[in-house]
Structure 1
Amino acid sequence: MINLFNAHIESLSLHKIGNKSRNEPIFLSNEPYRLNDEILPLLKEFFLKPFREKEENYYQFAHEVDLEYNEMYKFATSVFFNDDKEHTHLVSKKIAQHLFEQSNHPHIKNGEVYIAHLKNVSIDNIVTDAIGIFKSEIKSDFIQVQQKDSRLEMQLQQGTSLDKLDKGCLIFNHKPEEGYKILSIDSNRYDTRYWLEHFLSVDTFHDENYNTKKYLKFCQDFAKDIVLPAEDKKEEVMFMNRAVNHFAKNDDFEETNFLNEVLDNPDLISEFKSYKVDKGPKYSIEDLTTFPISNTAVSEARKKIKSIINLDTNVQIKINITNPDVAEQIIEKGWDEEKQMYYYLIYYHKETK
């Protein structure tokens, strides 16, 4: 989990990257950008707002041979070990040159690249520093009104909107032995491979957040593919209710305990294990049986899981996902021979507003 509220931009370098395949140039500034109190808070919000609003899906630098061969890993390490502003600026020029070398596809847009050294950022309850790399590509039209003699004149100009960052990443000085923890955003997904694979060269960071999300998504698909056909919609919903609540009340996951608690039907336990053998590699959980649980990932999953039974009579039954045991006791399913229809019997004390 990150906290960027107290983050401070220690230094900033600004460069312009063209598209190499179109013979567009690269412009590297000779010195760091001189920050002032007027623009500093605007830039901080422009750079960091997208990361506060985005799910925390972490990446890490990777290389098939060794991390030391990953250019961006070496650049980041150099800054973290020597945060002198002039040194950071020299490294920023190497980062910009590296980005330019990857900008060789016709779809890649030119734009300004901001490389910031950030202090006082918090990740996993640890205060550290980070490197932010941000690219603005899409220009917005705006009107500049000027007074000339006895009239006002309008000039149409183009510039970068502070409402939307096109691309960006935060490289946290955390877990360097694993390739650092990295967050990335990309508003223009037509060239995602260029940013993540070619420029950053990253893999997904397999931490408790990733494992929790993947395992719960696997459970959701198991409920849809196996529980629903074998039981009914109620049991599908109730299985996911029990699954999420098991994650919510435990600090660590242990698969045997999980299966015994959330699967009422013993036959489904063997079905679950077979489904995991078949589908596990798709979710990168084939060998995952124990791991620490991320409360943040559980909260995010709870919001996404639909606990609603939709009936063909245009009636919806919403089950309280926070208390599945109670839901089991107050909802019964049956078959009416006379009407030749299924029914749900719901018990309650009183209606609430």
Structure 2
Amino acid sequence: MINLFNAHIESLSIHRVGNKSRNEAIFLSEEPYNLNDEIVPLLKEYFFKPFREKEENYFQFAHDVDLEYNDMYNLSTEIFNNPTEAHAISKKITNHLFEQSNHPHIKNGEVYVVHITNISIDNNVVDAVGVFKSEIKTDFMQFEEKGKVLEMILQQGISLNKQDKGCLIFNYKKEEGYKILTVDSNRYDARYWLEHFLSVDAFQDENFFTKKYLKFCQGFAKDVVFPAEDKKEEVLFMNRSVNYFAKNDEFEESNFLNEVVINPDLIPEFKNYKIDKGEKYSIEDVTNFPIANAAVSDARKSIKNVINLDTNIQIKLDFINPESAEKYVEKGWDEEKQMYYYLVYFNKEQKS
């Protein structure tokens, strides 16, 4: 978890990059921007707002050979080690971004390189490097009195309500490639920012493994449990899976299988499914990991607990009290109508 409330902008450098394929130039400012009390709160909101609002999916710098060959890893480390040289290093970062700006779809724009202190991440106070790029210009009106007439002047600028591209590189977990948050609102050039400029992979922590394993369970429920049994059992399997994660601090696969997979015939099916699909979900060799509670809460919101029937009827099962579905919902076959049915037991109807 991150806390940006007390974050302080130590330095800001602003440059501009063009598109190399269109022979657009690069502009590097000679000096860092002179911050003042009026602009700082606006900049903090512009830079930080996307990271407060979006889910914390962390990345880390990566390279096929070694981290020391990742340009942004090295440049970020230079700033962390020598913050007084942040402006000079910001020019190298902007040049690196410019070298990746050679696809026709990539837009020109302003680049902001920021050194930030007093950020809290996982209960550790660290500094960070922020790199942001504004691309989309917005029309706005200015008005000017000329004699007895109020003139309307059309101008263009960037909106402080939306960040086009940005990343926060935290001075934390250096050996793994630093923890990084990134945002990209303009997905017409998705590989440009994440792959070509930053060169990052997903950060494989407890949050990552909790999300990936629950996604894997959803795939197993849909592809194996539903065809082998029915929709009710698919929903209940996911319910038991989420509840296992919710009540445990550590995931242990054999315990999980014994507690969650009620039908013993499905245990070898689960293991075979993991062999086939585990790499897709990045959990092929994972059997133990700490559980991230925030990831479990997010997963619970996204997992459907509704049985949709072809007779335009829905049955919603309660994830909080799963034993109700086990005890009070039965599935059967009606010979006369040649249709399946669900039998639901209850004492009285509840008020809405």
TM range (shorter): over 0.9
1:42 corresponds to which residue?
42
Percent same amino acid among aligned pairs?
73
Residue 94 (structure 1) shift: 0.9
1:119 corresponds to which residue?
117
1:30 corresponds to which residue?
30
2:351 corresponds to which residue?
352
1:188-230 CA deviation, whole Å, 9 max, x = no partner?
A: 1121111111111111111111111111111101100100000
Residue 272 (structure 1) shift: 0.4
2:64 corresponds to which residue?
64
* Greater Cα offset, 230-239 or 310-319: 310-319
Q: Unaligned regions of 5+ residues in structure 2, if any?
A: none
1:91 corresponds to which residue?
89
1:202 corresponds to which residue?
200
Q: Which residues of 2 match residues 165-180 of structure 1 at below 5 A?
A: 165-180=163-178
Residue 349 (structure 1) shift: 4.1
The reply to whether residue 337 of structure 1 matches residue 335 of structure 2 is yes
Q: Are the structure 2 counterparts of residues 349 and 12 from structure 1 closer, same or farther at C-alpha, using a change threshold of 3 Å? A: farther
2:100 corresponds to which residue?
102
The reply to whether residue 74 of structure 1 matches residue 77 of structure 2 is no
2:269 corresponds to which residue?
271
Q: Unaligned regions of 5+ residues in structure 1, if any?
A: none
TM-score, scaled relative to structure 1: 0.96
| Counterpart pick for 1:320 among 285, 293, 318 | 318
1:4-36 CA deviation, whole Å, 9 max, x = no partner?
A: 222221211111111112111111111111111
Task: Return the letter of the residue paired with 1:62.
Answer: A
Task: Return the letter of the residue paired with 1:7.
Answer: A
Residue 348 (structure 1) shift: 3.2
2:12 corresponds to which residue?
12
Residue 352 (structure 1) shift: 3.2
1:65-87 CA deviation, whole Å, 9 max, x = no partner?
A: 22112111111111112222xx1
Residue 104 (structure 1) shift: 1.2
1:293 corresponds to which residue?
291
Residue 99 (structure 1) shift: 0.6
TM-score, scaled relative to structure 2: 0.97
SS of equivalent to 2:88: helix
| Distance in 2 (alpha carbons) for counterparts of 1:345 and 1:239 | 20
Aligned residues: 351
1:251 corresponds to which residue?
249
Residue 347 (structure 1) shift: 2.9
| Distance in 2 (alpha carbons) for counterparts of 1:306 and 1:104 | 43
Task: Return the letter of the residue paired with 1:343.
Answer: Y
